[in-house]
Amino acid sequence: MSVVTQRTTLGGRNRSSRQVGANEMFDHLFGDDLVTATDLNRKPGKILDRAVNRPVTITRNDESFALLRRPVAQNMFHRYQDSLRVAEVMKAILKCTSSKMAPQERFGWLLAFDNEELLAFMDELVGALEASSLDLDSQEETICVEDIIHEWRESAVALLSSAHEEAFRSRVEEPAVPLTNPEDIVLEP
């Protein structure tokens, strides 16, 4: 069984060849690199060598198992978690844009933004999810969905804070002074 993949666009952006690579990984997850449990028992080393490069499907009677490197499996799990989180936030954003969100709700802070800004939030989340799915085998740090949500929430706090608004508004009312170098204080005798 092979996974059917399609080239898609999102927000006007075409998928790159790296994204096609990620689709190939998913193809291989259900691809025809099949070995039986008996083969695994007889030639475990060779099967593991194959699994280094791509997932291997192991069959036993009516069951099938995917053998893949642990970092790949870990990345896949993290991407799954990220997907759930993005879906949760996008559902809240849609609730906001349709004027059904109440301030006391868990995502009530989204009300600090207008619809245009909420759409930008959605775009940023989807972009992060796309970017993180490019290379499941990558050990490089990718944009963290939780960090993006955190940054937007912090931005909402700033938008809703009268103290912050007052500080921002009065920033040009008095003469600026050099910010004290902390080492001048920390190293005080």
Partner 1 sequence: MTPGPELLSRPSTAPLDTEGWTVLAASSRVNKQWEDLVRRAPENTVKCYQHLVTRPMDRYSGRVFPLRGKKYMGVWEYEVTSGDRVYYVPDPSSRTVLVYYAGEHPRPAPLPPKK
Binding site for partner 1 (CB under 8 A): 101-104, 108-109, 111-114, 116-117, 120-121, 143-144, 146-148, 150-152, 154-164, 167-168, 170-183, 185-186
- The answer to whether the beta carbons of residues 42 and 19 sit under 8 Å apart is no
- The DSSP call for residue 1 is -
Residue number, 49 or 123, with CB nearest to partner 1: 123
- Rg, the chain, Cα only: 25
Structural tokens at position 87:
């879906």
Nearer to partner 1, 10 or 120 (CB): 120
- 63 vs 116 by CB, closer to partner 1: 116
Query: In degrees rounded to 5, what are phi and psi of residue 142?
Result: -110, 170
DSSP per residue over 103-114, as a string?
A: TTSTTGGGGGS-
